[in-house]
Chains A and B, each alone.
Chain A
Amino acid sequence: MGELTATHFLLLSAALFITGMMGVLTRRNVLVIFMSVELMVNAVNVSFVGFAWEQNSMIGQTFALFVIGIAAAEAVLGLGIVMALSRRADTVDVAEVTELRD
């Protein structure tokens, strides 16, 4: 713990990512799953910017910017799908939507 190094940021990124992943795997409410996915994306962003800071490069930040933009588009579409799903199946529980079975 002496100096602030990139390792700190990377460990933070890992913790956030794992947390988001566990949310994706565990929760049944589709909106909470979506929010967990956003958490994972942000963790990755932190990792990008952390490396950029360590390496004195701007590419990491550029990339993180693009990630945010794409995440915005993805959020719109994802939530549209959630709406359509809830309209059709009358539920937001992913355990109810099991038509891929058999």
Chain B
Amino acid sequence: MTPEVLVFDILAVIAVIAGIGVVVSRNPVHSAVALVVTFVNLAGIFVMLRAEFLAAVQIIVYTGAILVLVLFVIMLVDMDDLPEFHGGAPLQRLSAIVIGLILLGEVAAAVLTRTVVGQPGPWNEETIAAAGGNVQVLGQFLYSGYVLPIQAMAIVLLVGTIGALVMARPDEPTTRAGGRTTGTISLGHSRGADLVALPSGAPPARVIHREDMRDGLVMVTSADAYTEHAAWAGTDVPSEPGAAEYPTGAGIGSEENR
């Protein structure tokens, strides 16, 4: 057993166990943390595979951005104790496990009996070192032959951003579970009544005005002060909750809201 195999075994086993942990954890936060462990181990495996840049990208993008985003969402979304751990859909789970094991067997059979066809490429250790290292080679590749895919991916990311913005935009004023309508940018808690009430006596809303701000910033300090007033819509804050009309025609920079 060579040392590479040993290292690989350790990394792989931990990754797989963590993967299983993602799937079976009751608390989604536990799943997220297990996923982090998996990703880090996979980064290690990438390093073993002489893909150092990819390992770094994996850590930065996957664990640093995507998983953090997932954690944000877990926090923001209210989760019940779902019935899946109380015996829901046993047939589905059983058949999923069976199918998974069969597929695993099939893929393992395919892998173990494969024959390699074609010629190996030119990029072994010496040539990579001669070209300046993994990053240099990868950069050469991306910005010569794969320029267009890079541009396309940039557009995809842009589209993703725009899509996220669109989806996060406030809805039309809708009546929510608590019976209150909201037009704010808040991503909306499902049950406004769960909000912790602020200490009484605090003013319901305060307008903070600074010279370098064009419009005032409305700071809402209690659940009751949820307002139909958009945060950017100016300093006229109605004091009673839920009674204000949604300002029509008003927008950022409109004269009348000054």
| Physical interaction between A and B | yes
**A residues touching B (Cβ–Cβ < 8 Å)?**
1-4, 7-12, 14-23, 25-29, 31-32, 34-36, 38-39, 42, 45-46, 49-50, 52-59, 61-62, 64-66, 68-77, 79-84, 86-87, 90-93, 95
Query: Cβ of A42: which chain B residues have Cβ within 8 Å of it?
Result: 38-39, 42, 58, 62
Query: Cβ of B164: which chain A residues have Cβ within 8 Å of it?
Result: 76-77, 80
Query: Cβ of B239: which chain A residues have Cβ within 8 Å of it?
Result: none
Interface centre among B25, B82, B97, B138 (most CB of A within 10 A): B82
Query: Cβ of B207: which chain A residues have Cβ within 8 Å of it?
Result: none
A10 to B: closest C-beta gap in Å? 5
Query: Cβ of A74: which chain B residues have Cβ within 8 Å of it?
Result: 160
If over half of A's interface residues share one DSSP class (helix, strand or loop), that class is named, otherwise mixed; here it is helix
B83-105 Cβ-contact flags toward A at 8 Å (1 or 0): 11000110011001101110110
Query: Cβ of A52: which chain B residues have Cβ within 8 Å of it?
Result: 49, 51
* Contact yes or no, A82 B146, CB < 8 A: no
A16 to B: closest C-beta gap in Å? 5
State the CA gap A73–B70 with chains docked (Å): 13
Contact of A26 among B65, B78, B96, B156 (CB under 8 A): B96
Query: Cβ of A64: which chain B residues have Cβ within 8 Å of it?
Result: 51, 54
* Contact yes or no, B93 A90, CB < 8 A: no
Query: Cβ of A10: which chain B residues have Cβ within 8 Å of it?
Result: 111
- Knowing A36-B22, A39-B35, A79-B69, say if A16 contacts B16 (CB, 8 Å): yes
Query: Cβ of B107: which chain A residues have Cβ within 8 Å of it?
Result: 14, 17-18
